[in-house]
Each structure stands twice: as structure tokens, then as C-alpha cells.
Structure 1
């Protein structure tokens, strides 16, 4: 029987609070930024709590983290990932139906341009305010891009630059005065450019084998997923006990 203990983890507390929000409220409230945690990025977040705690919301990305929160904390949360099996189509539909603008900073230039063409085929009324790759040659270039986004002030901003770097950039944009809604998106743009809109086959999605499929498709993910398999359970339970 699960014994309820005080929730010491600020990261999990924020996931639980964010989970209570309806997506319409997430999309309609301005001057807010959101990110996502899976077992891999959770380990990174533990070492950078002060950064992640500055986000207005954190979503549980992946069935493994959802199950861990239920088993260890006794809290039920919904999986919300920035991909086409979860939050991404909800956002794209909202953007199109409400004539909102979107700015994208992610992946390589060829990939982000390809992804935008695919989005506009599927969502012909989607308004793209601007785009660029997620690679910066210097902090000064990153500051210039952040300033440009703030000046343009698109309704929504998605950033896919890898865990930690994307959070730092999105937080920088907000601190410089961005008034819209921002999300990190991980590898979403890269995946869209690779496999058009449906990165995961239906059977993979139904069986909750997304991380296994990604390990198969993207060799660079294998090391960090295997690392998380060994480290995540210990660190997650430790955080529950010691905070």
C-alpha cells in the first residue's frame, strides 16, 4: 500500500500542477514558457533545478515518467510530449484556428525549412512569423536572435536545441521581454523533417514503445537512454525521499 509522504521534489510538484491546466488555458495565457521532462532530461534537470524551476510549467514527456510519478508519488498525470502523438497537433490546430503566429528556432536550417513546408501542407492557414536553425556561433549571436524575437513578438515560440540549451535560450527570450507563449520541442522539428508528420508508427504509439523506436531510428540517442535506464530509477526514488 502506498504511504503518502510530503512531496519534496519541486520538479515533480511543478509537473503535477501543470497537469491540472487545460491545454486551452496553456495556449491562451500569455507571457509563459513551458518545457518537458522525460527520464533522460529529468537527470539533467536535477543538476539544474534553479533553471527548470523558473519555467511556468513542466510536462511529463513519456509513459515511463508518467508511470514513475504514479508509482513513487501516487499522482496521476497525463503524458504530454511535443510530438504529433500528443501536444503538437493541438497547438498547430489552435494556431491555425485562432490565426496566431509561430516562430521556430530548432534543428539545422535545412531541417527546419523542410519541417515548415510540411506543416504548411497539413495546416495551410498556419502563420509562420519566422524561423532559423538552433545552432549559434556565439553568445552574442544568441542574444541578437533573442532580441529579434522579442521585438517581433510572435504569439508562440518553439525551441528545439537539445536539453538544457533550449531551456536556457527560451528563458533568455522571456527575461528579455517576450510576451507570448514558448515551448521547448526537443527533436520534434528534426523528426518531422525525417518522417513528415508521423514520426512514430501507430503500433509503436499504442504500445508505448516510442523511446525504443527512437533508439532504433536515431543512434545518437542510445547512450543516453541506456544511461537513464540505470540512473533514473535510483535518482528518482532518491529525490522522493531526500528532496
Structure 2
């Protein structure tokens, strides 16, 4: 099992180490292991929990109330989501795109976009990315199927009357997640077009009159928050898509 230092976790999750320490000490939101030297050691389960904490906070839940929600969610769903993830991993071991596609289609009929993305796809992709060679090749195959699925879902959603919007990746490198987030938004009543190549510096002036979502894959930095506020003050219809 791989372990990560608090600095590595902070960089990966886009959270200040001071905030992570406060979440642990003050609110008891997670309990990482300790090395022989007393340093915190985080595993993938800890990282998934931190990402879930971020989602609750970004949705407006006060940090002091997150622990109760996490425990309630864990009691209800933990075993089920774990079994769904194992089923997906078993399908992936066959390395057959058709089987993977069928599994994604079946899961999409059974679960909401939010549940499928957050509780099955993201954890499975994280597990595959931890390994070398074969697992990474399988992850690449899975990503191809996921993008294909997301594109098909976006096309289907355009058959319905809905609000139009453009999704732009902002200083991020996970293109598969960008398409998955487009699919997520399409299930929330938007007809989404995607700027397929993430940008280091989006230019909303190139898309006058369009509603724009920007997605970073992590919390906005202070610089990004200031830039987003500046765009909004200039009158651009632009918003941060956080999950």
C-alpha cells in the first residue's frame, strides 16, 4: 500500500497543509497513520475522504457539520460502493473495451451521474493510477470508454430543451474528468459544449453572450478566485464548477 506525506496530499488535493491539520485536530474528520518518526501517512482511503470533505464544504456545508454527514453516508453506502468498485475492477481485468462499455452503460442506468462519477469511476481510476504499466494501460482504455460515454450522453441531452453552457478546463490536466464533469452538468439541466483542451488562462471575451463554467479539478487558488471575480465584475457570465 502506498503512503503519502501531508505535503504530497496537500498538493494533490489542492488544500493547504494547515487546513488539513485543522480538519484532523479540530474536527476529527480523518485519522491518518503515523510513521515511526511520528509523521502523518495518508493512504488512498484518506485521500478519497478528503475529496469527499471538499465536496461537502464546496456545496455549502459548514465544516463543523461534515463529520456527521460523512458517518451517515459511510454507514449507508460504504459496503455497496466498495462492491460496485470491485465489480468494475473485475470487468477491467478482461481488458475488453466492449465489456467495459457494457459495464458503464449498466452502471449509468442504475446510478445517478453524481454517484457513478464520485463513488465508482473516480475511486477506480485512482486505484489504477497507483500501479505501473499494465494497470495504467487499462486505465487509459477505461478513459477512452468514459469519454465516449460522456460524449454520447451530451449528444442525447441536447435533444431536450435546456440552458446552453460552455465548460472550460482551467489549468488542469485530467481531460477525462473534464468530459465526466460535462456529463454531470448535462444531468443538471444544461446543454454542455466542451472546450476539449484545458487552458492555463481562459479568455471569456472570446465567447460573448455565453454562459461559461470553469473546472479546475481542485479548489480555486487565491489568484484564480481573484481572476474569476474580475471576470464577473466585467459582466461575463462565468462560474466555477466545483464538485
Could you state the TM-score of these two structures normalised by the residue count of structure 2?
0.24
Quick one: higher RCO (CA 8 Å, sep 6+), 1 or 2?
1
Could you state the TM-score of these two structures normalised by the residue count of structure 1?
0.24
Higher helix share: 2
